Amino acid sequence: MRINKYIASCGIASRRKAEELINDGRVSVNGKIITELSFQVDEVKDIVEIDGEKIGLDEKEVYIVLNKPEGYITTVKDQFDRPSVLDLITDIKERIYPVGRLDYETSGLLLLTNDGDLTYKLTHPKHEIDKTYMAIVKGVPTNEEIENFEKGLYIEDYKTAPAKFKIVKINEEKNYSICQIKIHEGRNRQVRKMCRAINHPVLRLRRVAMGKITLKETEVGSYRHLTNDEIKYLKGIK
């Protein structure tokens, strides 16, 4: 089995992220650093380590949905020593990782799993899985601004894919709108950048669904295991 696929199968990271680990010299097989992406692993005999810690295929697959609070990062750690979403996972012994990302200031639905192949599928742009957000934005977007948002906006060096934008409630006194936004891309801080591009910056942002997966009754800072039907649905996405 190719080394990147092996790492993904162990639930450590997606294949793409696994390649980064290999290129960074963090992966060793039988005590030797491996930098060749095509390296073949014998999953029975070889000892594979990442940063000196042994990994293997014997862990059971775990799938959870977390209601992420604001003020948590979706990486293991960062240079500012901010709290990670993994700090909220207290009773799962398997090493699980977020599927995609949710920025520090954004709350809501975040999937975590040790199924590397599923992570790769769900984060690959070709699958176009809708991500639904509830956003409080400054002011009241006009019909023209909403149309521009939905058709796609030029942000930095790219144009966003078609999206959906619906005003749910308007507070004229305090000059803000509550909006439902659906996108299927996952670029860094994309919803915030898109709202800023139509001159209605985000005041608060919460993700409420990913495809058909919702938070249900999960409280902020808590998580639940996905049902068998939910796991089947995610694995069946083409």
Name the residues annotated as catalytic.
Answer: 103
- Token representation of residue 31: 């005590």
Spatial separation of the C-alpha atoms in residues 32 and 119, rounded to whole Å: 27
How big is the CA angle at 232 (ends 130 and 220), to the nearest 5 degrees?
A: 60
Distance CA 192, CA 232 (A): 32
What letter represents residue 146's amino acid? I
Return d(Cα 98, Cα 33) in angstroms, integer: 26
Query: 85 burial class (0-12, 13-18, 19+ CB within 10 angstroms)?
Result: buried
Q: Per the structure block, which two tokens stand in for 141? A: 């977007």
Say which residues have a Cβ less than 8 Å from residue 191's Cβ, sequence separation at least 6: 133, 135, 181, 183, 202, 205
CA–CA gap between residue 107 and residue 89 (Å, rounded): 16
Q: From residue 192, give the alpha-carbon distance in Å to each of 5, 142, 158.
A: 34, 17, 15
